[in-house]
Amino acid sequence: MTAIEKIRNIAIIAHVDHGKTTLVDAMFKGAHMFRDNQRVQERAMDSNDQERERGITILAKTTAMHWGGYRFNIVDTPGHADFGGEVERVLSMVDSVLLVVDAFDGPMPQTKFVTRKALALGLRPIVVINKVDRPGARPLWSQDAVFELLIELGATEEQLDFCCVFASAKQGYAMMDINDPAENLDPLFDAIVKHCPAPKGDPDASLQMLVTLMDYNDFVGQIGIGRIVNGRIKVGEQVSLIKRDGSIQNHKVSMLYGFEGLTRVNLTEASAGEIIALAGIPDIRVGETIASQDNPQALDYVDIDEPTISMMFVVNNGPFAGQDGKHTQSRRIRERLTKELQHNVALRVEDSESPDSFKVSGRGELHLAVLIETMRREGFELCVSRPEVILHTDPATGEKLEPYEDITIDVPEEFMGVVMEKLGARKAEMQDMANEMGRIRLHFKIPSRGLIGYRSEFMTDTRGEGILHSLFSHYGPYKGDLPRRKNGVLISMDQTEAVGFALMSLEDRGVMFVNPGFKCYEGMIVGEHARENDLVVNIGKVKKLSNMRSSGADEATRITPPREHTLEQALEYIEQDELVEVTPNFVRMRKRILSENDRKKADRRSNN
């Protein structure tokens, strides 16, 4: 065991893509955690498949390294606002934070969010101005911008007197002064030792440990991860588990793990200040306290912000149900969602009036889209509805309230007009505008409803050159109706395979979503209509064969490539009367009511 005064527990927080995970890679190399000839993949902490594909951190992870006789327990946190629940709870495990800021961009919306959480817990930040080797970098301006941000967030005098390190995680060097020569990350390690306090805790007191993260292993079952606040814990020891409702259970610790680089090591004993993982408690949950049986005392848990977006998860009742996925029953979907709640504390799952559908609420579209993508990769097959914001009512006035978001947009100057026009129609209010070295930075407050479906439209309007970041701001007055999708959809009239001749004939009607040979069914959305109304089409129409010659009989079938949708794009595209059918290999869009006659009857009933 490491003496408590030689331990430093620190979390790395930043806006998305400012270099947190790359900095951890550089720290591994700087602390010589690997052999010189050992191959280590980039962004080693992003072990999840979706993290590597999307290039973002989704789950908070713990690691540890040794430098100069000290042990650094490091927590790598997500940078995206939708995964803020991961950040909020892990900050209770650490004694300081490395606040990483891009030397060119400066503090961004998520920087503000995570910094506010850290300051509220009394943590003193160590600021790392990263990417100082980036063309156009302005590290001193970024340092001043961080200082202004801390003042805005109400930081104490001690927190304002922060240590600032200039670094390039990619090149593997850090320096205390921008003009100093730099060779390695030793200045950063030295700053952590000096400015991150040692853990407070008494190894001789009664055991107290707060479960902050969860993992699962097929051999040992549920694994709880957290920091020992007081006391010691040993393998084989009997401990008390204090549940969130105050009830107490007794369990035996079967395994203890410590962290070392990218691996876990078996421990026989651990004491106050250490971040460890333990097994042997089958129904352990995030936010519960592990304590000694002699004197069980619960620890306070950090409250997590409430979800702002919800959608319905529905059992797939389409004609192709069960053809692609292994898990299709409502029972299996319920079990999977219940399992997700064990570690995804920002998620909420509620039963609906129907036994085949569940209301799932989260922090944002990406938060829920990652869950859906994970489930489809596990063999689940289900339908999901369009995301909807969660409305509140002001208890004092009875006024309807809806969530608002702060959005920051960076665009070339020529696209500023179209962006402002589109956001104005979505009830956005401009807060600020600045010219940042040839690009315009716009700051808006917008109802969360106004952002649903806008991101893909934004990328089209700015020809892929725009950058949009959003962050939940507050609940404000309900803004009324917002613009809906302008175009209707093309709907298949029958269960058939798409035919090239039919697709070519329908190109004048709109944009197609399917290729020739794609299996379609009645009620499935196969394209976007050029007009506002929906149109039922025959996607399987074939060319008539006869012995009569006609002009154009020998023309080749030429088809424009279809517009394909990712899962997130499909969720943004659909309307209230539509669903996204998600299976391990397909993402299809469909009408809730598949039969054309039934849809007409439902419309007549709603109009009456």
Q: What is the 3-state secondary structure (H, E, C) of 252-267?
A: ECCEEEEEECCEEEEE
Q: What is the DSSP string of 54-83?
A: HTS--S-EEEEEEETTEEEEEEE---SGGG
212 is in an annotated binding site: no
Is 375 a member of any domain? Answer: no
164 and 113 assigned to the same domain: yes
149 and 220 assigned to the same domain: no
Given this model, what pLDDT does residue 190 score? 92
Report the run of H or E that residue 534 belongs to, with start and end.
Answer: none
d(CA 31, CA 41): 17
Q: Are 206 and 229 spatial neighbours (Cβ–Cβ below 8 Å)?
A: no
- Give the CATH number for residue 63: 3.40.50.300
Is 164 a member of any domain? Answer: yes
**Over residues 67-71, mean pLDDT:** 88
153 and 240 assigned to the same domain: no
Q: Are 360 and 313 spatial neighbours (Cβ–Cβ below 8 Å)?
A: yes
112 and 159 assigned to the same domain: yes
11 and 84 assigned to the same domain: yes
**Which range of residues forms the domain containing residue 45?**
4-195
Q: Are 19 and 130 spatial neighbours (Cβ–Cβ below 8 Å)?
A: yes
Q: Is the pLDDT of residue 583 over 90?
A: yes
Q: Are 265 and 257 spatial neighbours (Cβ–Cβ below 8 Å)?
A: yes
457-493 residue pLDDT tens: 888 888 888 888 887 888 889 888 887 788 899 999 9
Q: Is the pLDDT of residue 20 over 80?
A: no
Q: What is the DSSP string of 225-259?
A: EEEEEESEEETT-EEEEE-TTS-EEEEE--EEEEE
132 is in an annotated binding site: yes
Q: Is the pLDDT of residue 23 over 80?
A: yes
- pLDDT band of residue 581 (cuts 50, 70, 90) is very high
3-class DSSP assignment, residue 434: strand
Q: Are 598 and 317 spatial neighbours (Cβ–Cβ below 8 Å)?
A: no
Given this model, what pLDDT does residue 549 score? 59
Mean pLDDT of all residues belonging to the chain? 85
Nearest to 493 by CA among 542, 541, 537: 537
21 is in an annotated binding site: yes
**Over residues 293-317, mean pLDDT:** 84
Given this model, what pLDDT does residue 44 score? 47
d(CA 5, CA 577): 60
What's the domain count of the chain? 3
**Domain C-terminal end among 292, 310, 337:** 292
Given this model, what pLDDT does residue 457 score? 82
3-state SS of 109-128 is HHHHHHHHHHHHCCCEEEEE
394 is in an annotated binding site: no
**Over residues 112-116, mean pLDDT:** 82
243 is in an annotated binding site: no
374 is in an annotated binding site: no
pTM, full prediction: 0.79
Given this model, what pLDDT does residue 482 score? 83
99 and 219 assigned to the same domain: no
**Domain C-terminal end among 195, 227, 248:** 195
Cα-to-chain-centroid distance, residue 156: 30
156 and 245 assigned to the same domain: no
Q: Is the pLDDT of residue 99 over 60?
A: yes
280 is in an annotated binding site: no
19 is in an annotated binding site: yes
Given this model, what pLDDT does residue 355 score? 86
Given this model, what pLDDT does residue 193 score? 92
For 26, residues 6+ apart whose C-beta sits below 8 A from its C-beta are 167, 169, 170, 172, 185
Nearest to 421 by CA among 392, 442, 438: 442
Q: Are 445 and 384 spatial neighbours (Cβ–Cβ below 8 Å)?
A: no
17 is in an annotated binding site: yes
Count Cβ neighbours within 10 Å for each residue of 146-160 and write b for 16 or more, e otherwise.
bbebbeeeebeeebe
**Domain C-terminal end among 195, 216, 247:** 195
Q: What is the DSSP string of 473-485?
A: EEEEE--------
Higher per-residue pLDDT: 448 or 606: 448
Is 329 a member of any domain? Answer: no
98 and 219 assigned to the same domain: no
61 and 157 assigned to the same domain: yes
565 is in an annotated binding site: no
For 419, residues 6+ apart whose C-beta sits below 8 A from its C-beta are 409, 411, 442, 458, 461, 462, 466
Q: Among 267-271, 377-381, 435-439, 449-453, which stretch is predicted with the lowest mean pLDDT?
A: 435-439
Is 350 a member of any domain? Answer: no
**Over residues 277-295, mean pLDDT:** 86
**Over residues 597-605, mean pLDDT:** 87
Q: Is the pLDDT of residue 547 over 70?
A: no
Is 65 a member of any domain? Answer: yes
- pLDDT band of residue 48 (cuts 50, 70, 90) is low
Structure-token match 């930043």, residue found: 14
Bridge partners for 265 per DSSP:
258
Given this model, what pLDDT does residue 588 score? 92
Is 298 a member of any domain? Answer: no
CB atoms within 10 A of CB 433: 13
Given this model, what pLDDT does residue 81 score? 62
**Over residues 225-241, mean pLDDT:** 90
- pLDDT band of residue 556 (cuts 50, 70, 90) is low
Q: Are 148 and 174 spatial neighbours (Cβ–Cβ below 8 Å)?
A: no
Given this model, what pLDDT does residue 285 score? 82
